């Protein structure tokens, strides 16, 4: 589904990623863990197409198509989704209008507002998002938990082929974390071929979103891989001893 080969990335003169190899198969959940500054979020932003990060070497393909040659909107249309660690606020644009336009753009078809509202309300209910929240400006005045729920609601609406969750668990209390994780699992159940990459520091989100494979990044490289048992080893030993 998603294949990354020998990816090297720079910001200015500084090399951040130093030859990353990664494959995400259909329906697979990959967890990427590592200390601050290891390159985890850089990888996510590169996949999304952030212009600050310059690819100096390597290849990235999504279902055989060269992702690096696509603009961010075309990457979304191709089936890539990213949930941000710090979702931005867009004043004056309601969450419902934002999602309807994103849906129409990605699906290449128009949808009647009332019909989209039915879809939106159904998916929002599963995530325990109140209908009135979708009529407020995107993330304006939202709590941390509401912002993250709105990100997962976007994922539910857009039904991507590969979803990148960049520290979606950060800043969430245990109740909000469970709701967000339950939402991700529900979307996976409805779309069993969707691949998911969970970027996180901690074990707690991986108690609810079970990974098939765990990768550890340090200094821009993947230094260790294993099954979910690796998460417990990391919690016990810490990153320095890996």
Coil, strand or helix at 179:
helix
Q: Is the dihedral of CA 197, 202, 208, 212 positive or negative?
A: positive
Quick: pLDDT tens for 9-51.
Answer: 999 889 999 999 999 999 999 999 988 888 999 999 999 999 9
Phi first, then psi, for residue 55 (nearest 5°) are -80, 120
pLDDT on residue 130: 86
User: 40, exposed or middle or buried, with CB in 10 Å at 0-12, 13-18, 19+?
Assistant: buried
Quick: pLDDT tens for 187-241.
Answer: 999 999 999 999 988 788 888 999 999 999 999 999 999 988 888 888 788 777 7
What are the extents of the domains in the chain?
A: 2-237
Question: What's the CATH class of domain 2-237?
Answer: alpha beta
Phi/psi class of residue 134: alpha, beta or left (left: φ > 0; alpha: ψ in -120 to 50)? alpha
d(CA 156, CA 120): 9
């Amino acid at each position: 589904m998603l294949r990354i080969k020998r990816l090297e990335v720079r910001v200015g003169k500084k090399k951040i990623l130093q030859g990353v190899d990664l494959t995400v198969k259909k329906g697979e959940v990959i967890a990427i863990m590592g200390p601050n500054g290891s390159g985890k979020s850089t990888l996510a932003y590169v996949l999304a197409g952030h212009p600050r990060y310059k690819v100096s070497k390597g290849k990235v393909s999504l279902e055989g198509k060269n992702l690096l040659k696509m603009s961010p909107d075309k990457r979304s249309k191709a089936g890539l989704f990213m949930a941000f660690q710090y979702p931005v606020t867009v004043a004056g644009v309601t969450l419902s209008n934002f999602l309807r336009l994103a849906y129409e753009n990605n699906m290449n078809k128009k949808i009647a507002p009332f019909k989209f509202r039915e879809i939106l309300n159904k998916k929002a209910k599963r995530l325990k998002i109140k209908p009135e929240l979708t009529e407020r400006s995107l993330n304006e005045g939202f709590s941390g938990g509401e912002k993250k729920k709105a990100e997962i609601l976007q994922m539910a609406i857009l039904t991507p082929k590969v979803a990148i969750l960049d520290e979606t668990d950060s800043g969430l209390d245990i109740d909000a974390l469970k709701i967000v994780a339950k939402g991700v699992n529900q979307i996976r159940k409805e779309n069993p071929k969707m691949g998911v990459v969970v970027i996180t520091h901690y074990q707690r989100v991986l108690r609810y979103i079970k990974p098939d494979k765990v990768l550890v990044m340090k200094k821009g490289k993947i230094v260790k891989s294993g099954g979910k048992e690796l998460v417990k080893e990391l919690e016990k030993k810490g990153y320095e001893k890996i």
